[in-house]
Structure 1
Amino acid sequence: MSQKKIKAVFEEMGKVVVGQETLINRLLVGLFTGGHILLEGVPGLAKTLTVNTLARVLSLDFQRIQFTPDLLPADIVGTMIYRPKLGDYEVKKGPIFANLILADEVNRSPAKVQSALLEAMQEKQVTIGEETFQLDQPFFVLATQNPVEQEGTYPLPEAQLDRFMMKVFVDYPTKPQELEVMRRMSNLDYNYEPKPILSKKDIAQIRQEINQITLSETLENYIVELVFATRRPLDYALREEARYIQFGVSPRGTIKLNLAAKALAYMDGRDYVLPEDIKEVAPDVFNHRIMLNYEAEADGMTTRFVIDSILRKVAIGR
């Protein structure tokens, strides 16, 4: 039943968003496993539209926060407001108290604001004054970065990047998709209201079912081998790649790859993980956790090239 509903989610999303199936897939993977997604792509690729539509299809509260240099932590989590007539303080909750949060251009705000968001992501709770509030579940953050304009930005530190389950790159649409976007959006009367498909109860049930997906010991070891290949590339005959890797994937990356592969298998209607599931989602889990050195930048080496080499050279059952 859940797989039918998930298929219906993609169909309903397609009535509003053209293409972006991979983005929608990764958003659902994060949502179903309690992970958060960092998105990188140029403006105009329907990121906000996709998340807003997904919130409606999943019957979830949605808030978009535009990160700017003058944003304060209180603008995100909320603050205490003094009431003169009553002589006390009232808690005013911020936009973080929603199920789906779109943190737009998260690298445009200073470290204190970024930390406020990331603390809420990690702890699933917010403290305002002396009160601590649990965030409603599911709680899912999609943060975006603009790869074009880097002037006046505050890049996320590596330790904070690691808190995101995946970093997903959004590419331009294909020619047929671009044509469909143009036709659809140039119709000023087009205003389709997406129908709710899943509820919070459905999402909670899906999370429990994903927890029952089987991952064989061979594939568990394969995930560990992939992670260790990023830390000790010379042990895996990755001599060229070893020149460029400064830091490898953290243990959090091992956990997230396991969960993402299970979610992928579940959405494909299987109760077991295939090697292809791991290989498909590994780049999204790894690409913000592998840190390259200055030599890599000078030689034009990319993280994706390193990941592809690892996936190609590290054998299953090594």
Structure 2
Amino acid sequence: MRLDKALAQAFPTLSRARLQALLAEGAVSREGQILTSGSAKAQPGLHVVCLPPVAPALPQPEAIPLMVLYEDADLIVIDKPAGMAAHPAPGCETGTLVNALLAHCGDSLSGIGGVARPGIVHRLDKDTSGVMVAAKTDRAHAGLSALFATHDIERTYIALTRGAPSPASGRIQTQIGRSSSDRKKMAVLRSGGREAITDYVVQNAFAVPAKAGAAPLAARVACTLHTGRTHQIRVHLASKGAPILGDAVYGSGSPALSVKAAVAEAGLTRQALHAAVLGFVHPVTGENLRFETAPPPDMAALEALLAAL
């Protein structure tokens, strides 16, 4: 019998999924030896399962500084720094935007999204910087969610890419879903998935070879989202042969040595992607709101270095 199945019979209060997680965490042993594979054959002997302390059901407030662009009784707009996750998740339970918002807004945050992500109606990847909005009331939460569901939101991102997409402007319209080779990644699919639409324009091309028709070594690309699929811009630009610089997941291939040196000198340790513009109609007051921020220092430094190539 498989070990996880045998343990589930021996510990009926624990699911196989829970036991598999405990195995992965090194919390299961047999005769003092740590076991990690649930698919291994169960062996006779004394098995011990060490249950870690129960984590709090609710995220805890943390006094993390926020760059607030706008705030009223119903919503708050912030410029999220790179490195901050939107909400708690396994392996990232603290230091998130939710923890910061709980401290900043207190009990006024909306809870429609569940206890794990109060007030969050959309998210940016942990290592993507830029403008985000969060709801402080249920009414605002419902209204913002409806706007995102119907794509009645203005969203423009700035990316620094290896090479440049061709042509210099256009629309990328594909199906995006989980990669069949790596379930942690998204991919452009021939069938299945969900429709994803990105308009892009190359704003600046860097280190353009003298040879006619040759591609630049890097570029600044503005991308406007018409849908909001997971990793959409990162996947779409990679599909055009111009992955985002610093993207460890979708940035296959190495940039030119001069570009690689610029990335290192700028201190960029994440994908060079910034949510620069967020515009929407206030779901409660009906006011037209639009917010725009410049890329943070790591991207700004990289762009200056690329411009000097």
Highest CA radius of gyration, 1 or 2? 2
Higher strand share: 2
TM-score by length of 2: 0.25
TM-score by length of 1: 0.24
